[in-house]
Homo-oligomer: A and B are copies of this chain.
Amino acid sequence: MNFDEELEKRKNLVEEILERYLPKAEGEQRMVLDAMRYAVSAGGKRLRPILMAESAALFAGADEVWQTDCAAVPKPPTVAALPVFMAAIEFIHTYSLIHDDLPALDNDDYRRGRKTTHVVYGEDIAVIAGDGLLNYAYETAFRAFSKAVTIEDYQRVECAMNLLGRRAGVYGMVGGQCADLLAEKQETPPTKETLLYIHKNKTAALIQAAMTIGAVLSGADEKAVEQLTTCAENIGVAFQIQDDILDVTSSLEVLGKPTGSDEKNNKLTYVTMHGLEESKRQVRELSEEAVEILRSFPQKNGFLETLVERLIYREK
C-alpha cells in the first residue's frame, strides 16, 4: 500500500471508532443528538485521532495500536484505551468548530462543503450540541478507566485525562480562541507574540494532547513525552500557518469552505503579518524540526514521519 492508501485505511478505522462511540439519535433529546452526529459526520481529515494512534504506534508498534481484534490484550493494557481517547479528542475538535462557526463568533455558513450546524438546526441547538459534544467527549474518555488493571494503568489513564483537559481548556484551545476573538476586535494589530500564542493554543494545543496521550497510553517515558510535546507544537503551528496560506491561495471547490474569509473578517494572520513566502518558509522549518525529533527516537514510525511532511504540501 502506498501512503495515501494507508492514510485512507486509518481514516476509515477512525470513522468506525467515531461511529462506535457516537450516541444514537433517539429519545426526547433526539434533536441535540442529531446535531452532534451531523457535526461529527461532516468528515474532515481526522488528523488528531490519527496522530494520537501513530504516536502510540511509535512506542507500542502499529499492530498493537491499529488491531481491531478486541479479544487480544495489548501491551501495555492502556493501549486498549486509545479508541476512546481518539473519539474524545475528535469530539472536542468538532464541538469547537460548531461554536466557532456561530454568528456571534466567526459567522460561517459552510464547513467542509456542508451547511454548518447552526444553519441546519438553529443557533440554540448548535450551542447545546457543542456543549453536549464537549461533555460527551469526557464521558467517552472516562471509559478508559475500564481498561486499567494495576495502579500504574490507572495513573497512565489519569495522566492522559489531565493532558486532554488542560490542552482543551483555558490553558490551551479555549485560551487561544479568546485571544483570537480579541485580536479581531482590536483596532491595533496584535503583536507577533500574541499571534504565536493564538496558533500555539487554538490549534497546536489539541495536537499536543493527541500526540502526548498516544505516547502516555503506550508506555512512553517522561522524556519522550516532553520531546513529543515540542514536536506536536511545531506541527500544530505549521498546520495553522498552512491553513492561513490556503485561505489566501485555495478555492471553495478544493477546500470545501469559502476562502478569503480571513480577509473578509479583517483577520490578522501569519500571511498578512509575515507575507506568503516567509509563511511558507516557516511551515517548512517547523515541519522539518518536528520530523527531526521523530527521527531522534530509537523506535521508528515511517508513516508518522511522512504524515508530518505531507502537512507541508497539503492543498486542503
Q: Which residues of A contact B (CB under 8 A)?
A: 23, 27-29, 31-33, 36, 95-96, 99, 102, 104-105, 122-125, 127-128, 130-132, 134-136, 138-139, 142, 145, 148, 150-151, 154, 158, 161-162, 165-166, 168-171, 174-179, 181-182, 194, 197-198, 201
CB-defined contacts of A136 to chain B, threshold 8 Å? 169-170
For the residues of A in contact with B, the DSSP-based class is helix
A102 contacts across to B, CB distance below 8 A: 127
In the complex, what residues of B have CB within 8 A of residue A178's CB? 28-29, 31-32, 125, 128, 132
* A127 x B128 contact (CB < 8 A): no
Q: Is the CB of B125 within 8 A of A23?
A: no
Among A95, A96, A135, A201, the most chain B Cβ lie within 10 Å of the Cβ of: A135
In the complex, which residues of chain B have a beta carbon less than 8 angstroms from the beta carbon of A182? 31
A124 to B178, CA, bound (A): 9
Q: Report yes or no: A23 in contact with B170, Cβ–Cβ below 8 A.
A: yes
| B124 adjacent to A138 (CB under 8 Å) | no
Q: Which of B36, B99, B130, B179 contacts A29 (CB 8 A)?
A: B179
- Contact between A128 and B169 (Cβ–Cβ < 8 Å)? no
Closest to A200 in B: B28
Given contacts A104-B123, A136-B170, A170-B29, contact A99 B131 (CB under 8 A): yes
Asked whether, in the complex, the Cβ of A170 is within 8 Å of the Cβ of B130, the reply is: no
- Report whether A165 and B139 are in contact in the complex, using a CB–CB cutoff of 8 Å: yes
Q: How far is the CB of A199 from chain B (nearest CB, A)?
A: 12
For A32, A33, A99, which residue has the most chain B Cβ atoms within 10 angstroms? Answer: A32
New A-B pairs, 11, CB < 8 Å, besides A31-B182, A134-B135: A23-B170, A28-B197, A28-B198, A28-B201, A31-B178, A32-B174, A104-B124, A132-B169, A132-B174, A135-B169, A148-B154
Task: Give Cα A25 to B174, complex, Å.
Answer: 14
| A145 contact set on B, CB distance < 8 A | 154, 158, 161
Residues of B within 8 A of A175 (CB): 27-29, 32, 132
| Assembly CA distance A36 to B169 (angstroms) | 12
For A104, A123, A134, A145, the residue with the greatest tally of chain B CB atoms inside 10 Å of its CB is A104
Which 6 residue pairs of A and B lie closest in terms of their CB atoms, listed nearest first? A29-B175, A104-B123, A32-B178, A135-B169, A139-B165, A132-B174
Cα distance, A151 to B162, chains bound together (Å)? 19
CB distance from A44 to the nearest CB of B (A): 19
The answer on a CB contact under 8 Å between B104 and A174 is no
- Name the residue in A31, A122, A132, A168 with the highest tally of chain B Cβ atoms < 10 Å from its Cβ: A132
Q: How far is the CA of A138 from the CA of B197 in the complex (A)?
A: 24
Residues of B near A36 (CB, < 8 A) are 170
Do A139 and B124 contact each other (CB < 8 Å), given the known contacts A99-B131, A174-B132, A178-B29? no
Q: How far is the CB of A141 from chain B (nearest CB, A)?
A: 9
Q: By the criterion CB–CB under 8 Å, are A181 and B128 in contact? A: yes
Alpha-carbon distance A125/B123, docked complex (angstroms): 16
Q: When chains A and B are docked, how far (Å) is the Cα of A130 from the Cα of B96?
A: 12
* Chain B contacts for A29, CB-based, 8 A: 170-171, 174-176, 178-179, 201
